[in-house]
Structure 1
Amino acid sequence: MGVLAHLYRGEVYRSTIWRTRLDTSTNWSVVTLGVALSITYSSPQASPLPLVLVGILIVFFLMLEARRYRYFNVWRARCRWLELHFIAPILKEGDLHLEEHWQDRLADDYMRPSYHVSMWTAVGRRIRRNYFWILLIQTIAYLGKLAVHPTPLTSAGQFLDRAAIGPLPGWLVLLMGAVYCASFGVIAVMSGRRDRRRAQKRRDPLGMG
C-alpha cells in the first residue's frame, strides 16, 4: 500500500512536470507570433512576410509540443489508472478487486513502456486545444495586413499584388497559405474522430490513453 502511494505521488509529479513543458512550448508560439505581429504592424510600409515566416516556427513548436504531450499522456494515464482501480475502490469499498487483473496491465506498462497515443493524434489534440486559436490569429492578422496597409484595398488584383513574395506570385502565396490552414484543420478533425471512436470502443471509459 505504501509503495503504491509513493508510486502515485511520483507519477503525479512527473505528469505535472510534463504539463508545465506543454505550457512552455505554447508560450513560445504565442510570443513568436506576438513578435511577428509587432514587426508587421509597426508601420504601414512594413512587410507582412514575418507573419508568413512565423508559421514555420509555429509548426516546429506544434511538433515539439505533440512529442511532449505523448510523454505527458503516459504519466497522466498511469495516474488515472491508479485513481480508478486503486484509490477509488479503497475509499468506496475497501477492496482492490485484484481478481480483475488491473494491476497486471499497470505492471505491463512499466515493464514494456510505450506511448498510448500516436504522434498524429497528439498533434490533432494540441491543435484543437491551443493551436487552432494561434492559427486563427495569424491568418486574420495576415489578411488584415494585406487589406489595410499601406492603404485600404481597392481591387482584388491589388490584394494579389500585395501577397506576392519576391518571385512568388500572390496567388501562389495565398494558395500555400490555404493549404497550410487546411492541413491544420484536416489533422484536427481526423484526430477528433479517431478519439471518439477510441472512446466508444474502450471498455474502461476512464482508462489508459
Structure 2
Amino acid sequence: MSEESPRRDWPNQEIESGTLGALAHLYRAEVFRSTHWRTRLDNTTNWAVVTTGIALSATFSNKDASPLPMVLVGLLVTVFLIFEARRYRYYNMFRARARLMESDLYAPILHGRKVPWGSEWSKMLADDYETPHYHISLARAAGRRLRSNYSWILAIQAVAYYGKIAIHPEPLTSFADVFARAAIGPIPGSFVMFAGLVFHLSWVVFAFVTLRLDKIYREKRQSPMQAI
C-alpha cells in the first residue's frame, strides 16, 4: 500500500459555503425540533401506561373491588391516543424536513456527487417553509400510534377486565354470572359487555384500515417528504 492515498476529485458544488453552513444550522434545528416532539410522544404514551397501571392496581386490589376502573381507563387511553396523534403530526413534519436534507443534500455530498442548487429537493423544502402543512392526516397518525403502542395497552386493558370478571369475587361457575358481574349500577351487564366488544373490535378494524390507507398513500405519493 502506498504511503500517499489516491487523490479523490470532488466536484465543485453549486452551493456557496455560507449557504451550506446555513443549511447545516437549519438541519440541526429540524433534528432538534423532531427530537423534542418525539419526546412529547413518549410522554403521552407514558401517561397511558401509568393510568392503565393505576386502574389495574385499583381493580385487583381486593376481590370486592369494582371492575369499573378498567372500563374508564379504556376511554382515557383513547383520549391519550388522540393527543398523541396530534403531536405525531408535528413530529412527522419536522422529521420529513430533516430526512429530505439527509437524503438529497448530505448523502450526495458524502458520495462525492454534485448537489445542484435550485433542484427539486430545495424547491420542496422552500415550499414547505413558505406554506407549512401537515404531511399526514389525524386518522393515519392515530393509526400509526395505535399499531405501534396503544394496541398493546388496550389489549392488556381488555384481558385484565375480563380476567377480573372471571376470578372475582370468586371463579366463575356459570356463564350467566358474567353479565351479573359486568353490570354497572342501572346499566345491565349485557349492554356493558356488548359495548366493550364493539369498542375493542372498533380499534382493531381502525388499525387495519389505517394501515391500508398508509400503503395506498405511499404508492400514490408525489413527494419524498410524504414518505415519513
Partners of 1:98 and 1:7 in 2: CA distance: 16
Q: What percent identity do the matched residue pairs reach?
A: 53
Supply the AA of the counterpart residue of 2:100: W
Q: Deviations over 1:41-73 (max 9, x none)?
A: 000111000000111211111100000000000
Q: Given the two structures, how large is their TM-score scaled by the length of structure 1?
A: 0.96
Supply the distance in 2 between the matched residues of 1:115 and 1:198 (Cα, whole angstroms).
14
2: CA distance, partners of 1:72 / 1:148: 43
Give the counterpart letter for 2:69 in structure 1. P
Q: Which runs of 5+ in 1 are unaligned?
A: none
Q: Residue 154 of structure 1: which of 173, 178, 183 is its match?
A: 173
Of 178-187 and 16-25, the range deviating more from structure 2: 178-187
Structure-2 separation of matches of 1:181 and 1:45: 25
Q: Which has the larger radius of gyration?
A: 2
| CA 1:178–1:170: 2 relative to 1, 3 Å | same
Deviation at 1:156, TM superposition (A): 1.0
Aligned: 1:144 with 2:171: no
Q: Is the 8 A contact 2:97 2:225 kept in 1?
A: no
Query: 1:207 Cα deviation (Å)?
Result: 5.3
Query: Which whole-Å deviations, capped at 9, do the CAs of 1:105-140 have from their partners, x for residues lacking one?
Result: 110000000000000001100100000000010000
Which protein has the bigger helix share?
A: 1
Match of 2:193 among 150, 174, 186: 174
Name the SS for the 2:171 alignment partner: coil
Deviation (angstroms), 1:200: 2.1
Match of 1:17 in 2: 36
RMSD: 1.4
- With over 3 angstroms needed to count, the CA separation of the structure-2 counterparts of 1:185 and 1:26, relative to structure 1, is same
Q: Which residues of 2 match residues 31-180 of structure 1 at below 5 A?
A: 31-98=50-117, 100-180=119-199
Structure 1 residues 63-111: Cα deviation after superposition (integer angstroms, max 9, x where no partner): 0000000000001100111101111011113311346421101100000
In structure 2, runs of 5+ residues without a counterpart are 1-19
**Matched residue, 2:202:** 183
Match of 2:211 in 1: 192
Task: Say how many residue pairs are matched.
Answer: 209
Amino acid across the alignment from 2:126? A
Greater CA drift, 120-129 or 192-201: 192-201
> Which of 46, 71, 83 pairs up with 1:27?
46
* Alpha-carbon distance in structure 2 between the residues aligned to 1:116 and 1:27: 25
User: Normalising to structure 2: TM-score of the pair?
Assistant: 0.88
Q: What's the offset of the Cα at 1:172? A: 0.5
